[in-house]
């Protein structure tokens, strides 16, 4: 049982990898998952309701492990967050840094009721990154939340939030994978991309069996080793190319310097025995 960030279900990647893992392991293994934001996924892990988590919020992940709830973190994929919005770009954020773009959207939204920003507002990894960008833009998040009707929180996953932003012709922060997988169904366009501020790193973490003896640690370890295997890293790096013209994710193996993680966090197999 896996608690996974919503983007991995919205893009369909976990639905592809699950059956491959079942076939490889055999023995009537079934992969099941709960698709929630990072915050909720980590809560499932803390309660021992799942065997591992797939998340993308480094600060929250570090705390999860430091508090004794998680072990054996491995980075296995990355892409980038992007700012998407109406083709007309009413706030004029094209070519701005993320922080400057956020400031411009806020300033324009306060004076023009047609300019809006849609936030997930769900304590997900995407929401955490949004809050970090607001901080770098010089704003306390609680002040942004209460600043006016231009700012709307959905409390929903990435796909639902992206669709709402499309319906309202609004801006939103989105991961590249979810945007590409929805691009044929929405009118919003990519406006701001690139840079370390928008790097989006995915990791898998085992739930510590010391907090819940019933968790299937050996099978969870097998899943993580499956994710970081050369074969699956290639699948991840090519996922979406045929349909969307570019990959929705990049495999992390061999990219340690790019994504600022240690070799152990990316490619060292998890050593767990039954």
CATH 3.40.190.10 in the chain, residues? 2-78+200-266, 80-197
Mean pLDDT of the region 256-264 = 81
| Average of per-residue pLDDT values in the chain | 94
Q: Where are the alpha helices (DSSP H) in 26-124?
A: 38-47, 58-66, 98-111
Q: How far apart are CA 177 and CA 158, in angstroms?
A: 10
Residue 190: its pLDDT value, please?
97
Banded model confidence at residue 151, pLDDT cuts 50, 70, 90: very high
Residue 21: its pLDDT value, please?
96
CATH class of 80-197: alpha beta
Q: Tell me the β-bridge partners of 5.
A: none
Q: 203: part of which helix (H) or strand (E)?
A: strand 199-207
Residue 149: its pLDDT value, please?
97
Residue 162: its pLDDT value, please?
96
Q: What are the tens digits of pLDDT across the range 96-127?
A: 999 999 999 999 999 999 999 999 999 999 99
Banded model confidence at residue 273, pLDDT cuts 50, 70, 90: low
Q: How far apart are CA 125 and CA 217, in angstroms?
A: 24
Q: How many CA atoms lie within 13 A of 167 on its CB side?
A: 9
Banded model confidence at residue 4, pLDDT cuts 50, 70, 90: very high
Distance of CA 201 to CAs 75, 81, 172, 259, 270, Å? 7, 10, 19, 7, 19
Residues 145-175: b if buried by 16+ CB within 10 A, e if exposed? eeeeebbbebebbbbebbbbbbeebbbbbbb
Query: Which residues make Cβ contacts (< 8 Å) with residue 109, sequence separation at least 6?
Result: 91, 115, 116, 117, 148, 150, 151
Residue 274 has pLDDT above 60, yes or no: no
Query: Which residues make Cβ contacts (< 8 Å) with residue 55, sequence separation at least 6?
Result: 4, 5, 38, 41, 42, 61, 125, 202, 203, 205
Residue 20: its pLDDT value, please?
96
Contact 124, 6 (CB under 8 A): yes
Mean pLDDT of the region 230-248 = 94
Query: For residue 99, what are its two tokens?
Result: 């922080």
CATH class of 2-78+200-266: alpha beta
Residue 167: its pLDDT value, please?
97
Burial of 32 (0-12, 13-18, 19+ CB in 10 A): exposed
Query: For residue 235, what are its two tokens?
Result: 């699948």
Q: How far apart are CA 150 and CA 130, in angstroms?
A: 16
Q: What are the tens digits of pLDDT across the range 160-214?
A: 999 999 999 999 999 999 999 998 899 999 999 988 899 999 999 999 999 988 9
Banded model confidence at residue 11, pLDDT cuts 50, 70, 90: very high
Distance of CA 161 to CAs 83, 100, 199, 205, 249, Å? 13, 22, 20, 26, 20
pTM of this prediction exceeds 0.85: yes
Q: How far apart are CA 82 and CA 172, in angstroms?
A: 8
Residue 258: its pLDDT value, please?
82
Residue 133 has pLDDT above 80, yes or no: yes
């Amino acid at each position: 049982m896996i608690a996974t960030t919503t983007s991995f279900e919205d893009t369909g990647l976990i639905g592809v990898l699950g059956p491959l893992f079942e076939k490889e392991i055999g023995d009537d293994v079934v992969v099941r998952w709960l698709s929630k934001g990072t915050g909720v996924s980590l809560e499932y892990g803390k309660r021992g309701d799942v065997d591992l988590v797939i998340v993308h919020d480094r600060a929250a992940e570090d705390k999860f492990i430091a508090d004794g709830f998680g072990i054996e973190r491995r980075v296995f994929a990355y892409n980038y967050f992007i700012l998407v919005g109406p083709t007309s770009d009413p706030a004029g954020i094209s070519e701005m840094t993320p922080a400057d773009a956020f400031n411009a959207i806020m300033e324009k939204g306060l004076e023009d009721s047609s300019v809006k920003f849609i936030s997930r507002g769900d304590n997900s990894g995407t929401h955490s990154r949004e809050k970090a960008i607001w901080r770098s833009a010089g704003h306390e998040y609680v002040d942004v939340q209460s600043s006016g009707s231009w700012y709307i929180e959905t409390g929903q996953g990435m796909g639902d939030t992206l669709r709402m932003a499309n319906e309202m012709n609004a801006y939103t922060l989105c991961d590249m994978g979810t945007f590409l997988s929805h691009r044929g169904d929405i009118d919003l366009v990519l406006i701001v991309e690139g840079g370390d501020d928008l790097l989006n790193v995915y990791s898998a973490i085992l739930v510590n069996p010391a907090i819940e003896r019933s968790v299937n640690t050996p099978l969870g370890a097998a899943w993580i080793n499956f994710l970081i295997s050369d074969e699956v890293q290639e699948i991840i790096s090519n996922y979406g190319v045929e349909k969307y013209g570019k990959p929705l994710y990049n495999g992390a193996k061999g990219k340690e310097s790019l994504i600022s993680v240690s070799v152990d966090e990316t490619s060292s197999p998890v050593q767990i025995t039954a």
